[in-house]
Amino acid sequence: MDKGQRVTEQEIETSLSILARLIDRYGDAYWPIFERLERELTTRQERRTRLSVHLRTSRHNKKQTFGL
């Protein structure tokens, strides 16, 4: 991966699946990485949801204001 390239949510989900198997097989050594990736995925999903809510509200208000 290039330095400036962003990790996708799909890549995080794949990594979580791999880590889950590693934790199941070898114990908790990978648990901190698992938790960090889980937090990152949750944060991204929550941000996207929050933004969508405000964009829908914004579009609705714009239509009312400008009669669109």
Q: Tell me the per-residue pLDDT of 28-42, one tens digit each, with 9 for 90 and over.
A: 999 999 999 999 999
* pLDDT over 80 at 6, yes or no: yes
Q: Tell me the average pLDDT of the chain.
A: 89
Specify the pLDDT at position 25. 98
* pLDDT over 60 at 10, yes or no: yes
The rounded distance, in Å, linking the Cα atoms of 10 and 34 is: 15
pTM value > 0.95: no
Task: Provide CB contacts within 8 A for 23, sequence distance 6+.
Answer: 29, 30, 31, 34
Report domain extents, the chain.
9-66
User: Using an 8 Å Cβ cutoff, are 30 and 22 in contact?
Assistant: yes
Q: How many residues does the chain have?
A: 68
Specify the pLDDT at position 20. 99
The rounded distance, in Å, linking the Cα atoms of 45 and 43 is: 5
Largest CA distance in the chain: 61
